[in-house]
Structure 1
Amino acid sequence: MSAHLTATTLSAPLAERLACEPLREAGEVALFWLGQAGFVLEAAGQRLLIDPYLSDSLAAKYAGSPTPHQRMMPIPVAPEAIGRVDAVLLTHRHTDHMDADTLQPLARRFRRLRFVAPAAEGAEALRRADIEPGRLLAVDAGERHDILPGIAIGVARAAHETLERDAEGCHRFLGFAVEAEGVTVFHSGDTVPFPGQAEEVAAFRPDIALLPVNGRSPALAAAGIAGNLDAAEAAELCRAAGIPAMLAHHYGMFAFNSAEPAAIDAVAATAAPLGMERARTGLEYRLRTAPRLG
């Protein structure tokens, strides 16, 4: 099977859409981009958040520094305004992916909310979300977990910009393959290319990939800021892993570490047969299963 991707413009603010029940119809997955690497994923009567950064905490942290983290896009929905959340997936500890000012309001509002994070960063995830250990599922690359009724995740390695492990050998950077409604959505986390990556990702048989495209540079590396795939590398990963569709993200948030929309669109225009699009706020993406050709 594969999935057919469509996009429709939201007729109301995202908070109003996320207050709606019921969720998607059977056999359908919905995605909403939250900016940076953040997504809402709805499927099987469940709602997941992946790497939500829904605050302005980094602007305060880096005020007056050479890399000011002023948001280029508004917060699309406040943590206090999301209708409900059943699980939050966190790929690594960087604050634009594991943000205390986003996670703690969610944890307080939804007392049964579960969090999934790298085992290598388990203690940090507990601290930032301010939750008890029983609410955290600590995972590592190579594992598969049923996290909610109708939803499972496969866990992959990521290299941001290296394949780092902790003292116990657990990977610090992860990607997640979310399986629901016969569809597999692969979120790579922050990553650059590394040997064996395409084969590892291909094993999940993703129908769509959510990949960063802000790239990397010696200047950012010298400032201690790890980079990611650029748009061409992201498209090549999809081709090598046999992924038919892609949403490009991790751009348009911080001016010093972004990618030009026109440059992303130029790669997308020549990426066929890959269906590559630049993720946009204000849209609802829907995936429905369809027979896979070939």
Structure 2
Amino acid sequence: MRTYNSGPALMQQIRETRLPDHALALWALGQEGFLVKYGETKILFDPYLTNWVFELAGEPWSRRFVSPLAPEDCEEIDYVIISHHHEDHMDKQTLQALSRHEQTKFIVPRAHLSLIRSWGIREEQLIGISHLEIVELSGDLSLEAHAAMHEQLEQNEEGEHLYLGYVLSLGDIRLYHSGDTIGFPELVAWLQVKQADIAMLPINGRDYVRRGSGIAGNTNYREAVDIGAAIGADLLIPMHFGLFPHNDENPAYFVDYLYSHYPEQRFHMFTPGERFIYMK
């Protein structure tokens, strides 16, 4: 059976991956965690690389698989992008470890800046962002935030959104990472204008039982596919499955729905630690 790299070997693969123009590489790290490489720039989305949720809450929050990367493996990361403050997305232990590298910048919903400051991350490493704001990164990279509806839109007293998704522009490639969200008309309208090449959306869904346990829901596999198709994405990537058995969905349903309703739609379903290269 084929296995993918992990630990220092995976970081070496990331470091040694060379990309042509108009291309990027993606590595899946579990849940909504992805590492993106464009040129020599390395970006992490929502890295949950520890077992912190289980340490806080106990069962049933044990991981189904060990993270392909440990925090100490992650050298030379330029940007860490956080969608919202849930511990499997804004992982205190991972972020504190990554903050030891002075070159690493953290792009965080402005609503959560005070919390992340309290974790000891230096002010010069922090970049706050909110709905419809754009941050210019290095070279030809930029990031635009869009409000996400993790069951509902939520804002703090200052009007800053608690949940965000992002359109990351890398040269002429646009990648949409939804964060945790359900579908809503405004989201589709925003994204249709952006013409994302890659759309990454959760498929774990929501239901009465999980809501009663305090688990906020997301798009299910049908909503994720329909949104991706509606915004005209070239490639769909399902995420937020496989890590926690009690908050999961079978990704085969995502594939079956695509096959039945959008048979020409491109997609890729990751194994943790797998590398995928996208060329425009």
Question: Which structure 2 segments of 5+ residues have no match?
Answer: none
Residues 201 and 239, structure 2, Cα contact 8 Å, conserved in 1: yes
Alignment partner, residue 71 of structure 1: 63
Alignment partner, residue 190 of structure 1: 180
Residues 44 and 180, structure 1, Cα contact 8 Å, conserved in 2: no
> For residues 254 and 10 of structure 1, do their structure 2 counterparts lie closer, same or farther at Cα, with a shift above 3 Å needed?
closer
Alpha-carbon distance in structure 1 between the residues aligned to 2:200 and 2:3: 20
Residues 156 and 201, structure 1, Cα contact 8 Å, conserved in 2: no
Alpha-carbon distance in structure 2 between the residues aligned to 1:209 and 1:166: 27
In the TM superposition, residue 22 of structure 1 has moved relative to its aligned partner by: 6.1
* TM-score (structure 2 length as normaliser): 0.93
> Residues 176-212 of structure 1: CA distance to partner in whole angstroms, max 9, x if unpaired?
1111131111000000012311011112210011110
| Letter matched to residue 83 of structure 2 | T
> For residues 44 and 150 of structure 1, do their structure 2 counterparts lie closer, same or farther at Cα, with a shift above 3 Å needed?
farther
Alpha-carbon distance in structure 1 between the residues aligned to 2:274 and 2:211: 33
Question: Which structure 1 segments of 5+ residues have no match?
Answer: 1-8, 290-294
Q: Are 1:94 and 2:86 an aligned pair?
A: yes
Alpha-carbon distance in structure 2 between the residues aligned to 1:238 and 1:263: 15
* TM-score (structure 1 length as normaliser): 0.89
Alignment partner, residue 72 of structure 2: 80
Instruction: Map 1:6-85 to 2 at 5 A.
Output: 12-13=5-6, 15-19=8-12, 20-21=15-16, 23-64=18-59, 68-85=60-77
> For residues 188 and 11 of structure 1, do their structure 2 counterparts lie closer, same or farther at Cα, with a shift above 3 Å needed?
closer
Alignment partner, residue 119 of structure 1: 110
Residues 5 and 68, structure 2, Cα contact 8 Å, conserved in 1: no
| CA RMSD, Structure 1 to Structure 2 (Å) | 1.7
Alpha-carbon distance in structure 1 between the residues aligned to 2:62 and 2:240: 15
Q: Which has the higher helix share?
A: 2
In the TM superposition, residue 11 of structure 1 has moved relative to its aligned partner by: 6.3
SS in structure 2 of the partner of residue 256 of structure 1? helix
* Larger deviation, residues 49-58 vs 68-77: 68-77
| Letter matched to residue 126 of structure 1 | R
Identity %: 29
Alpha-carbon distance in structure 2 between the residues aligned to 1:267 and 1:103: 36
Residues 208 and 243, structure 1, Cα contact 8 Å, conserved in 2: yes
Select the residue among 82, 97, 103 that pairs with 1:105.
97
In the TM superposition, residue 123 of structure 1 has moved relative to its aligned partner by: 1.0
Alpha-carbon distance in structure 2 between the residues aligned to 1:18 and 1:169: 39
Alpha-carbon distance in structure 1 between the residues aligned to 2:8 and 2:196: 29
Residues 144 and 166, structure 2, Cα contact 8 Å, conserved in 1: yes
In the TM superposition, residue 59 of structure 1 has moved relative to its aligned partner by: 1.1
Instruction: Map 1:242-281 to 2 at 5 A.
Output: 242-270=232-260, 271-281=262-272
| Letter matched to residue 71 of structure 1 | R
Runs of 4+ in 1 over 6 A off after TM superposition: none
> For residues 25 and 82 of structure 1, do their structure 2 counterparts lie closer, same or farther at Cα, with a shift above 3 Å needed?
farther
Residues 76 and 103, structure 2, Cα contact 8 Å, conserved in 1: no
In the TM superposition, residue 121 of structure 1 has moved relative to its aligned partner by: 1.2
| Number of residue pairs aligned between Structure 1 and Structure 2 | 276
